[in-house]
Structure 1
Amino acid sequence: MIYILAILLPPLGLLFNGQPLAAIGNVVLLVVCGVLGLLFPGLWAVPSIHAVVSVYMTREDRRHREIVDAIERHGPPPPPSWRR
């Protein structure tokens, strides 16, 4: 759902994902691409691509942090039975 929002309304998608500075940067990017989009129509996709990549990277960072925290709390997982 957050990816659909990031494609359709990039700054709002970034805000809902907890990235206010990226949302401000995306608004600036929207303005620049809006002005230059009159000459180069493909630039309209740049803010959406930025938002989707940013949301994906932030979610991956969170997932990685959760795994590292779990390993620090509970120790590494046991080795598979075939390696014993």
Structure 2
Amino acid sequence: MIYVLAALLPPIGLLFNGQPFSAIFNVVLIVFCAIFGLVFHVLLLVPSAHAVIAVHMKREQRRHREVVEAIRRHGPPPGYSRY
């Protein structure tokens, strides 16, 4: 659901995902791309692509942090060899 919101309303999707600085940057990006997107139409997709990629990266970072915390709490998985 957050991906749909990030694709359709990029700054709001970033805000809901907890990324206020990315949302501000995305607003600037929207203004820039709206001006130059009249000539180069593909630029109109850049703000949405930025928001979707930023949301994906933040979710992957959270997932990685959860795995690291689980390993710290419970130890490595069975059969894991460090060497």
Same fold (TM over 0.5): yes
Aligned to 2:62: 62
Aligned partner letter, 2:70:
A
What secondary structure does 1:79 align onto?
A: coil
Aligned to 1:35: 35
Q: Which 5+ residue runs of structure 1 have no aligned equivalent?
A: none
Instruction: Output the CA distance in 2 between the equivalents of 1:43 and 1:78.
Output: 49
Q: Which 5+ residue runs of structure 2 have no aligned equivalent?
A: none
Give how far 1:79 is off: 1.6
Moved over 2 A (4+): none
Identical residues among aligned pairs (%): 66
Aligned partner letter, 1:45:
L
What secondary structure does 2:56 align onto?
A: helix
Give how far 1:9 is off: 0.3
Instruction: Output the CA distance in 2 between the equivalents of 1:44 and 1:26.
Output: 12
CA radius of gyration, larger in? 1
Aligned partner letter, 1:72:
R
Report how many aligned residue pairs link the two structures.
Answer: 80
